[in-house]
Amino acid sequence: MTDAGIRMIRQIPPEMMAQMVQEIDLPVGPLAQDRSVTIPGPAGDLPARLFDARSERGPGPVAVFFHGGGFVLGSVASHAALAAEIARQLDCPVISVEYRLAPEHPWPAAPDDAEAAARWIAANGAELGLQVTGLVLAGDSAGGTLTLVTGLALRDRPAAVPLRLLLPIYPMADAARPYPSQTRFADGYGLSTEEMVYFNAAYAADPCSPRHSALQADLAGLPPTVVATASLDPLRDGGRALAGALAAAGVPVAFHEAVGSIHGYATYRRGIPSAGRDLDAVLGLARTLLGQSAAD
């Protein structure tokens, strides 16, 4: 993990990246729609990709997905299979957004892009051929962090349609304080201390800002939230603390910890057989809370 190494990774063609991902994750699978779209961003257009298991639908919620990768790596292509599975299991369109990455674009470029994309999708469903009645924000790892940060922004200044659900999967919820799991699972569990040090330096976020550390914010008023963690993840304890803080703030929350699994499991379903069952459990909780939110 160096700036030079990241520059080399940037040169890998998307089709080759997709082949590499399929060594550890399942294929994208059957969909009625899988198409590229473009979203205006604060510093230029943001490429995105729309996944939908249905060719036609009436009014309903749309999920905005933010990929993981430490705010440095990852792409719509690398997380296509996860976004597609969310579309199938939640039975709603998923729009996966390419936000700007560090070190070329340090914080707050990523949260700026994520918020702008969510607001635009909420207000411009017709341009996408959708009748958007609400938003689901979802993401894994760094994308889970962006899910929380964007959820707070849209709580404080609502978008054109209401937030229905947040789905942060093993997010970094609090960079302002140390947690025991960061030491216990520092090396050998898929997300090493060395990698995290590089990601943090490249992204250069303020660890005490609620635009990076959701647990530094007042969480009251957020929509129903599903928090997913992994039991062998350095970020585990921050995720557990997040679930507790949401409940204490009166937010409807569901929690699932993938026992015996590591950070990144939702995109390792070929490599870790139990990961598929854990993702099914997480998305089952999301369906339940989303249904309750729609009923309210």
Active site residues: 141
The Cα–Cα gap between 87 and 67 comes to 14
For residue 99, what are its two tokens?
A: 């936000």
Q: What are the C-alpha distances in Å from 102 to residues 7, 114, 132, 201?
A: 11, 14, 31, 9
DSSP output for 32-85? SEEEEEEEEEBTEEEEEEEEES-S---SEEEEEEE--STTTS--TTTTHHHHHH
Element housing 149 (H / E):
helix 142-156
* 8-state DSSP, 278: H
**How far are the Cα atoms of 68, 79, 152, 244 from residue 290, in angstroms, in the given order?**
23, 22, 18, 20
Alpha-carbon gap, residue 4 to 128, rounded angstroms: 37
